[in-house]
Amino acid sequence: MNKNTKKLLWIGIPVIFILIIVFSAIGTYNSLAKSKQNVDAQWSQVENVMQRRYDLIPNLVNSVKGSMKQEQKVFGQIAEARKSYGNANSASDKMKANAKINSSVGTLINAISENYPELKSNENVSSLMIQLEGSENRISVERRRYNDQVKKYNNSIVTFPKNLMAGALGYHRISYFQADGEAKKTPTVDLDTGK
């Protein structure tokens, strides 16, 4: 080997090594960025179906309000829960507000089913209840999909070699969507008007 070839090897090998590291870092960053975008997109879909339910609730409430004078407390709870959801800014606040909506809407649906069978047969109320039930199912599906995306993302930032760069690039674990503590309790329907 001549002197120039040796010099080229001494320069070339470190340059190749540096290029491998740079391209690996770029690939890791792109992979993490795409995974984070998938999580954000799925959260947006969760919010979309929660918004659909949020928009349906006033129609259901107005359809049954006149016939359900005893449930004014429930209607107040629903209005307050919707207000909390409308004012929520963070994902955590929206999850908490969503739990309040779940509870109050569940109480209303139970009240209609158990104590107002004539309302169940009302076509408008029946249609709205079906739409609301569909919204609840959609929310459940989208929450599960969100948690699946969070799992993929979290797995990618804790596995080697991405874990070496994830923190430095500003990527951190994301919390799963979890049920509010109140969701574990069975809601009770008390329509005692005190008479």
**84-123 pLDDT, tens digit each:** 878 888 877 877 777 777 777 776 666 666 666 655 556 6
Taking residues 34-42, report their average pLDDT: 89
- Per-residue pLDDT, 52: 77
Dmax (CA) for the chain in angstroms is 107
In a domain, 28, yes or no: no
In a domain, 95, yes or no: yes
In a domain, 70, yes or no: yes
Asked if the model's pLDDT at residue 53 lies above 80, the reply is: no
In a domain, 77, yes or no: yes
In a domain, 117, yes or no: yes
Q: How many domains does the structure of the chain reveal?
A: 1
Kindly give, in sequence order, each residue whose CB lies less than 8 Å from that of residue 120, ignoring residues fewer than 6 positions away: 112, 113, 126, 129
Q: What is the rounded distance in angstroms from the CA atom of residue 191 to the CA atom of residue 174?
A: 41
- Per-residue pLDDT, 18: 92
Band (pLDDT 50/70/90 cuts) for residue 194 is very low
Worst-scoring range by mean pLDDT, 8-12, 71-75, 151-155, 176-180? Answer: 71-75
Taking residues 120-135, report their average pLDDT: 70
Q: What is the rounded distance in angstroms from the CA atom of residue 88 to the CA atom of residue 114?
A: 32
Give the distance from CA 18 to its chain's centroid: 41
In a domain, 2, yes or no: no
109 closest CA partner among 63, 173, 171: 63
DSSP for 48-109? HHHHHHHHHHHHHHHHHGGG-GGGHHHHHHHHHHHHHHHH--SHHHHHHHHHHHHHHHHHHH
> Which structural domain, as residue segments, surrounds residue 59?
50-181
Q: Which amino acid appears at position 110 of this protein?
A: N
Higher pLDDT: 134 or 150? It is: 150
In a domain, 132, yes or no: yes
